[in-house]
Amino acid sequence: MSIYLENAASTPLLDETLEFYTKQIARYFGNPHADNDFSRECRKAITKAEKQIRTAVNASKDVNIIWTSGGTECFNSVFFGLEWNAGDEVIVSSLEHPATNNPLKEIAAQGVKCIALPVDKSGRFSLGDFKAALSEKTRLVSIMSIQNEIGVINDLEGIRKVLNETGSKALFHTDNVQGFGKLKLDWQKCRFDFMSTAGHKFHAPNSCGALLVNSKIKLKPLFFGGGQQKGQRPGTQDAAVIAGYGFAAEFNHKHKDEKLKDILELNNICRTGLSELTDNEGKVLDVIFHSDEECTPYVLTFSIKGYQGAIIMRFLSSIGVYIGVGSACSAETKTPNKTLTAMGVNKDIAYGAIRVSFGWQNTPEEIKIFLEKLQEVIKSY
Ligand SMILES: Cc1ncc(COP(=O)(O)O)c(C=O)c1O
């Protein structure tokens, strides 16, 4: 038995994408940057994938796409690709991913100040605080669409509205790594300048990311080499992976609304079942939900008072049930979950945090088995 509920960390390929992608591996072996028929076929596949990505977020055809190795490289391409002046400011939310926060720490050496918007108990910042933080010095606003540890959906249209109302010239980047292929997000409505995406979060091939860039903006490249991708990100591209990415982007775009209903059902079964967990004496346990009902249903984070998330995770993993404790990237650290502490959750409860994240392959039966196994683990804890 194997039940995988760590989809916010990485998703498996769906059967449809797997079937398509495996065929492309044999087909697109050519070097897309050479001058022969195999290369031209590869280039065509890449152009098609770019179109599929733009369509998925309603970006116009002049929006450039830079293919990268994933989300982290997309962010670094933006943060290190811009020319900064000392005194420039960047506004982020205080729950951004380390792949945003850590490059920004590096940029601070150039005299760039990073302002993190505080969040309330639910993990949300206020547009009022955003407006107050905005000034003529604001060069970039970088806000994630969906928070990876608790699933808060940020109001990016609201951010754009404030930028318009104040006449701000700040550039707008969204970390759409958790949202792409799941959340309806409109490039034109939000008038983004940059959007970062990563294949492994939406059932596309791994180790591939797409950074969408406003065509009026020129980024300095991170790498130097053979001039591929107009010198913006040189290195030979893998047309099969990119074709798989485009296929999954289109597939998810088509099915995301109906799938959202299925995911909501899984979330509801899970939420209800968690509220009914009991201890050895049959007393209902105190389960604290950190993800509220306004969060994306793809992520459900909670703590069980008196129980440590990491221990439960290990027990479950030994019997083939895979869950997370907050972010996969920080599962190794011994500190309590930083996102939860920023939301004001006390340290002991934050240590207990467990993240269950759903994917399109999961079924209601799997959630029921997960709940049964969790109940057994609690009894023998
Ligand atoms: C919200 C968010 N942003 C960025 C990243 C980093 O993306 P990648 O692992 O593709 O580099 C992740 C990965 O967990 C994420 O969840």
Q: Is a pLDDT exceeding 80 seen at residue 364?
A: yes
The alpha carbons of the chain give a radius of gyration, in whole angstroms, of: 21
Return all residues near 367 (Cβ < 8 A) that are at least 6 apart. Answer: 266, 269, 270, 273
179 lines ligand 1 (CB under 6 A): no
How far apart, in Å, are the Cα atoms of 92 and each of 57, 120, 145, 291, 353?
Answer: 22, 15, 12, 21, 24
- The two tokens of residue 147 are 């928070």
The torsion angles phi and psi of 271, rounded to 5 degrees, stand at -60, -45
Q: Is a pLDDT exceeding 60 seen at residue 331?
A: no
274 lines ligand 1 (CB under 6 A): no
Instruction: Give 334's pLDDT tier (boundaries 50, 70, 90).
Output: low
Q: Which of 7, 72, 154 to mutate to test the pocket of ligand 1 (most atoms within 8 A of CB)?
A: 72
Q: How far is the CA of 44 from the centre of ligand 1 (A)?
A: 28
Q: Which of 73, 76, 201 to mutate to test the pocket of ligand 1 (most atoms within 8 A of CB)?
A: 201
**Angle between the 37-56 and 239-275 helix axes, to the nearest 10 degrees?**
30
Instruction: Give 326's pLDDT tier (boundaries 50, 70, 90).
Output: low
Prediction pTM value: 0.96
Task: Identify the CA nearest to 203 among candidates 1, 19, 3.
Answer: 19
- The reported pLDDT for the residue numbered 175 is 98
- The reported pLDDT for the residue numbered 1 is 85
Q: What is the pLDDT of residues 46-78, one digit of tens each?
A: 999 999 999 999 999 999 999 999 999 999 999
Helix (H), strand (E) counts: the chain = 12, 12
- The reported pLDDT for the residue numbered 349 is 92
Q: How large is the average pLDDT for residues 113-128?
A: 98
Q: How large is the average pLDDT for residues 160-175?
A: 98
DSSP-derived secondary structure letter, 108: G
Query: CATH class for domain 3-11+255-379?
Result: alpha beta
- The reported pLDDT for the residue numbered 333 is 57
Atom of ligand 1 nearest to the CA of 200: 10
Calculate what percentage of the chain has a pLDDT beyond 90: 94
Q: Is a pLDDT exceeding 70 seen at residue 9?
A: yes
182 lines ligand 1 (CB under 6 A): no
- The reported pLDDT for the residue numbered 327 is 53
Residue ranges of E strands in 111-217: 113-117, 138-144, 171-175, 194-198, 209-213
* Strand 299-304 to 354-357 pairing: antiparallel
- The reported pLDDT for the residue numbered 157 is 98
Q: How far is the CA of 232 from the centre of ligand 1 (A)?
A: 21
3-state secondary structure of 141: strand
Calculate what percentage of the chain has a pLDDT beyond 70: 98
The torsion angles phi and psi of 78, rounded to 5 degrees, stand at -75, -50
- The reported pLDDT for the residue numbered 351 is 86
Domain segments of the chain as ranges: 3-11+255-379, 15-252
- The two tokens of residue 26 are 């044999």
Task: Identify the CA nearest to 261 among candidates 292, 294, 297, 295.
Answer: 297
Instruction: Give 134's pLDDT tier (boundaries 50, 70, 90).
Output: very high
The CA distance from 336 to 368, in Å, is 28
Matching residue, tokens 């806000």: 143
Matching residue, tokens 């049959």: 282
Instruction: Give 253's pLDDT tier (boundaries 50, 70, 90).
Output: very high
Instruction: Give 332's pLDDT tier (boundaries 50, 70, 90).
Output: low
Closest Cα to atom 16, ligand 1: which residue? 148
- The reported pLDDT for the residue numbered 348 is 86
Task: Identify the CA nearest to 303 among candidates 321, 317, 290.
Answer: 290
Name the average pLDDT for the chain. 96
- Measured in whole angstroms, the distance separating CA 282 from the mean position of its chain's CA atoms is 38
3-state secondary structure of 296: coil
Options 3.40.800.20, 3.40.640.10, 3.40.50.2300, 3.30.300.90; CATH of 15-252: 3.40.640.10
Atom of ligand 1 nearest to the CA of 73: 11
Number of Cβ atoms within 10 Å of the Cβ of 299: 25
Atom of ligand 1 nearest to the CA of 198: 10
144 lines ligand 1 (CB under 6 A): yes
